[in-house]
């Protein structure tokens, strides 16, 4: 809840800075100050994301990955971050099984662990990244009762550093817990690592010995593709199982559309925070959209009636008084089944998606977002 409210504040700050930057030139006296406002607001947004990661409510875009490729692509960056007196060695497992997680988030996990390993070796040393398959038959040997007997892919990050004292081992994943000097760390790095691994359905275990080093062991479930064609027995078993209602979030492609202008498309912007709503309206109008604004879901329904449904896309907050975003979507789709819809929220999709009907298609844009990100999301949804 705190993260949601704080994201609204940051969104309003970023929108106002973006709008002023549209009319500012790099030579202007105020340009550097505007960029500083935007830079620090984005830094605050990173801290909010780290808190959301720990509480496992951040936005994730899981994709099927091969960790050999992920670590191979990261190798150069890890080398650069760890400095000249620290050597990075990689021991790749053979024929690694695929896993399903958010690529960007998992890269953050590995980078955080690598930086911590570097800091634990002030005199230098070796960081080892190791991967291998862990079949279900070998899980019991780890001695972790909470681990299910299923196939995992294991990633280890080891250092030769000072080690973690036993008395603080059970605190290392707590938010804001840090052994670093004031100003050297927020204490959110490992809590973010923990949250990302858990939200990916995985497990993380530290092992450490004072003076010898530390190993963080990550276990991610093996991803198995479910074939589209099933035999009759499997189909019967599936039909007997209770049906789950899961909305379908329309993925936003990474490639930007060439044209971000509105082409006179009509947008209904629904947001109870006036500063955020005003900034969103202004930024969409600069792109050529016709924007109607509503402060609540109920007001949005009234405006739709007044306009006889002449709206191309609805951009709505999730958490609002009287009628929230998911309820608004359900009500609008009764009359306008093909209406395009984008949720903007400081919460992750899974924090509200369970309140939506099955197969509800919608776009999603996490707060805080920039003028360009909003324009891209709206343009892509209109084009889809």
Delimit the domains of the chain by residue range: 2-54, 62-221, 248-383
Give the architecture (CATH level 2) of 248-383.
3-Layer(aba) Sandwich (3.40)
Per-residue pLDDT at 240: 36
Per-residue pLDDT at 203: 94
Give phi and psi for 333, each to the nearest 5: -70, -20
d(CA 371, CA 19): 8
Per-residue pLDDT at 277: 87
Per-residue pLDDT at 236: 39
Size (the chain), residues: 384
d(CA 234, CA 57): 33
Per-residue pLDDT at 188: 66
Sheet of 213-221, strands arranged across = 86-91, 125-134, 152-158, 213-221, 203-209
Per-residue pLDDT at 105: 82
Per-residue pLDDT at 252: 45
Q: Give the global pTM.
A: 0.51
Q: Tokens standing for 254?
A: 């990474």
pLDDT along the chain (384 residues), means of 10: 75 86 86 89 75 57 87 82 84 93 85 88 91 93 90 94 86 71 59 86 91 93 70 40 39 50 81 84 88 92 92 89 84 90 74 62 82 86 86
Beta strands 340-345; 361-366: pairing state: parallel
| Residue 269 Cα distances to 113, 139, 278, 294, 296, angstroms | 41, 51, 10, 6, 10
Yes or no: say if 376 and 256 are a contact pair by the CB < 8 Å rule.
Answer: yes
Quick one: 85 exposed, middle or buried, by C-beta within 10 A (0-12, 13-18, 19+)? exposed
Quickly tell me which residue has 């951009």 as its tokens. 315
d(CA 119, CA 57): 29
Q: 62-221 with 248-383: one CATH topology? A: no
Q: Tokens standing for 193?
A: 């690592």
| Residue 312 Cα distances to 203, 291, 304, 315, 381, angstroms | 44, 10, 11, 10, 10
CATH number of 62-221: 3.30.565.10
């Amino acid at each position: 809840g705190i993260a949601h409210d704080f994201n609204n504040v940051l969104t309003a700050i970023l929108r106002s800075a973006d709008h002023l930057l549209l009319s500012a030139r790099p030579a202007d006296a105020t340009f550097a100050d505007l960029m500083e406002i935007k830079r620090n607001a984005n830094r605050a947004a990173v801290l909010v994301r780290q808190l959301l990661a720990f509480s496992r409510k951040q936005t994730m875009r899981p994709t099927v990955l091969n960790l050999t490729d992920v670590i191979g692509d990261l190798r150069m960056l890890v080398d650069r971050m760890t400095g000249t007196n620290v050597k990075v060695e990689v021991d790749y497992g053979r024929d690694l099984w695929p896993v399903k997680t958010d690529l960007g988030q998992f890269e953050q996990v590995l980078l955080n662990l690598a930086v911590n390993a570097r800091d634990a070796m002030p005199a230098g040393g070796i960081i080892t990244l190791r991967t291998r398959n862990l079949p279900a038959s070998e899980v019991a040997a780890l001695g972790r009762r909470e681990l299910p007997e299923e196939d995992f892919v294991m990633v280890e990050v080891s250092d030769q550093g000072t080690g973690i004292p036993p008395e603080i081992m059970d605190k290392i994943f707590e938010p804001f817990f840090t052994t670093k000097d004031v100003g050297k760390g927020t204490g959110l790095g490992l809590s973010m690592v923990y949250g990302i691994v858990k939200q990916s359905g995985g497990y993380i275990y530290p092992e450490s010995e004072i003076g010898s080093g530390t190993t963080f062991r990550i276990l991610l479930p093996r991803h198995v593709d479910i074939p589209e064609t099933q035999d009759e027995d499997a189909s019967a078993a599936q039909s007997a199982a209770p049906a789950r209602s899961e909305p379908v979030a329309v993925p936003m492609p990474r490639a930007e559309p060439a044209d971000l202008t509105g082409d006179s498309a009509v947008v209904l912007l629904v947001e109870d925070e006036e500063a955020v709503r005003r900034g969103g309206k202004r930024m969409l109008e600069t792109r050529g959209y016709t924007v109607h604004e509503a402060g609540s879901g109920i007001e949005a329904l009234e405006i739709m009636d007044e306009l006889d449904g002449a709206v191309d896309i609805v951009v709505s907050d999730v958490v609002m008084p009287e009628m929230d975003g998911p309820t608004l979507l359900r009500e609008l789709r009764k009359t306008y089944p093909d209406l395009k819809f984008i949720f903007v929220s400081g919460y992750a999709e899974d924090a509200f998606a369970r309140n939506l009907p099955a197969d509800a298609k919608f776009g999603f844009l996490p707060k805080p977002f920039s003028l360009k990100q909003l324009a891209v999301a709206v343009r892509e949804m209109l084009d889809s």
